[in-house]
Structure 1
Amino acid sequence: MAWTRPLSMMLGLTLAASASAQVTNEAEPNTQVPAGSRHYAASGFPDRVVASPAQEASTGFAVAWRTDASVSQPALQLVLAGDSPDVGVPRELTATTQALTSENGLSHHHRVQIDGLKPDTLYAYRVQGQDTWGSWNHFRTAAPAGTPLTLLYFGDTQNKNLSLVSRVLRQAWRSTPDARLALFAGDLVSGKDGVDDSEWAEWFEAGRWLLEGTAVAPAPGNHEYHEEFEDTPQERRVLGGHWPVTFALPDNGPTATAKTTYWFDYQGVRVAVIDGTSALDLGTGRAQAKWLDTVLASNPHPWSIVLIHQPFYSPRAERDNLKLVEQVLPVIRKHKVDLVLQGHDHTYGRRGDTDSTTTPVFVVSVAGPKQYRLSDYARRTMKPVGEDTQLYQVLKIDPQHLSYESRTATGRLYDAFELQRDAKGGKRLVEQTQGRIAPRDCARPSSPKGREDRCWE
Structure 2
Amino acid sequence: MLLAALIGAAGAVGAAPAAEPNTQVPAGSRHYAASGFPDRIVASPAQDAGSGFAVAWRTAPLAQPPLLELAVAGDSPDMGQVQQLRASSQALQTENGDSQHHRVLIDGLQADTLYAYRVQGQGSWSAWQHFRTAAAAGEPLTVLYFGDTQNKNLSHVSRVIRQGWQSAPDARLTLFAGDLVSGGDGEDDNEWGEWFAAGGWLLPGMAVAPAAGNHEYFEEFEDTPQERRVLGKHWPVTFALPSNGAAATASTTYWFDYQGLRVVVLDGTSALDLGTAKAQASWLEKVLEDSAQAWNIVVVHQPLYPLRAERDSSVLASEIRPVLQRHKVDLVLQGHDHTYGRRADDGASLPQYISSVAGPKQYRLSPQARATMKPTAEDTQLFQVLRLDDKGLRYEARTATGRLYDAFQISRDAQGGKRFSEVTEGRIPQRDCPRPVSPKGRDDRCWE
For residues 284 and 274 of structure 1, the distance between their equivalents in structure 2, rounded to whole angstroms, comes to 10
Query: What are the Cα deviations for residues 270-292 of structure 1, in whole angstroms up to 9, with x where unaligned?
Result: 10000000000000110000000
Q: Which amino acid aligns with 1:407?
A: R
Are residues 14 and 365 of structure 1, via their aligned partners in 2, closer, same or farther at CA, if it must alter by over 3 Å? closer
Cα distance, 1:78 vs. partner? 0.3
Question: CA offsets per residue over residues 43-93 of structure 1, 9 Å max, x none?
Answer: 000000000000000000000000001353100000000000111131000
Paired position in structure 1 for 2:428: 437
2:247 aligned partner, one-letter code: T
Please report how far the alpha carbon of residue 198 of structure 1 lies from its aligned counterpart in structure 2 after TM superposition: 0.3
| 1:367 maps to which of 351, 358, 361 | 358
Do structure 1's residue 321 and structure 2's residue 313 form an aligned pair? yes
| 2:325 alignment counterpart | 333
Check whether the contact 1:192–1:240 (CA below 8 A) recurs between aligned residues.
Answer: no
Instruction: Report the aligned-residue RMSD.
Output: 1.3
Q: Distance in 1 between matches of 2:103 and 2:220?
A: 28
What residue number does 1:258 align with? 250
* CA shift for structure 1 position 439: 1.1
Q: TM-score, normalized by length of structure 1?
A: 0.96
Q: 1:137 to 1:430 in 2, by over 3 A?
A: same
- Rounded to whole Å, the distance in 2 between the matches of 1:443 and 1:193 is 30
1:239 to 215, 231, 234: 231
Q: What code does the residue aligned with 1:334 have?
A: R
Distance 2:327 2:8 in 1: 61
Does the aligned pair in 1 maintain the 2:96–2:189 contact within 8 Å?
yes
Asked whether the equivalents of residues 193 and 226 of structure 1 are also in contact (C-alpha less than 8 Å), the reply is: no
Whole-angstrom CA distance in 1 between matches of 2:316 and 2:168:
33
Distance in 2, Cα, partners of 1:213 & 1:416 = 27
Mapping 1:175-214, distance limit 5 Å: 175-192=167-184, 194-214=186-206
Structure-2 separation of matches of 1:242 and 1:72? 21
- Aligned equivalent of 2:388, options 387, 391, 397: 397
**Aligned residue number for residue 25 of structure 2:** 33
What does residue 272 of structure 1 align with?
Answer: 264
Q: How does 1:54-453 map to 2 (within 5 A)?
A: 54-70=46-62, 72-192=64-184, 194-354=186-346, 356-453=347-444
Give deviations 1:231-258, integer Å, cap 9, x for gaps.
Answer: 0000000000000000000000111000
CA distance 1:186–1:255, shift in 2 (3 Å): same
Q: Which amino acid aligns with 1:411?
A: G
Letter in 1 for 2:51: T
SS in 2 for 1:152: strand
> Computing the radius of gyration over CA atoms, which structure comes out larger, 1 or 2?
1
Per the TM alignment, residue 15 of structure 1 is displaced from its structure 2 partner at its CA by 6.2
Displacement of 1:131 after TM fit? 0.4
Aligned residue for 2:262, secondary structure, equals strand
2:302–2:334 CA contact under 8 A, matched in 1: yes
Which secondary structure state, in structure 2, belongs to the residue aligned with residue 306 of structure 1?
A: strand
Change (3 A) 1:380 1:14: closer
Count of aligned pairs between the two proteins: 446
Q: Secondary structure at the match of 2:393?
A: strand
**Unpaired stretches in structure 2, ≥5 consecutive residues:** none
Taking a change above 3 Å as real, the CA distance of residues 71 and 395 of structure 1, as seen in their structure-2 partners, is farther
Distance 1:70 1:387, change over 3 A: same
Q: Per-residue deviation at 1:426?
A: 1.8
1:158-207 deviation digits (Å, cap 9, x = unpaired): 00000000000000011211100000000000013842100000000001
Q: Contact conserved, 2:50 with 2:258, CA < 8 A, in 1?
A: yes
Q: How far is the alpha carbon of 1:360 from its aligned partner?
A: 0.5
Change (3 A) 1:14 1:213: closer
TM-fit CA distance, 1:21: 4.1
Shift of 1:427: 1.3
* Cα separation, partners in 2 of 1:83 and 1:326, compared to 1, 3 Å: same
Q: CA deviation at 1:428?
A: 1.5
Deviation per residue, 1:129-182 (Å, 9 max, x gap): 000100000000000111111000000000000000000000001121110000
State, as a whole percentage, how many aligned pairs show the same letter.
Answer: 69
Contact 1:72 1:108 in 2 (8 A): no
Q: What SS does structure 2 have at the residue aligned with 1:182? A: strand
Q: Deviations over 1:355-386 (max 9, x none)?
A: x2221100000000000000111111100000
Q: Structure 1 unaligned runs (5+)?
A: 1-9
| Structure 2 Cα separation of the partners of residues 226 and 48 of structure 1 | 22
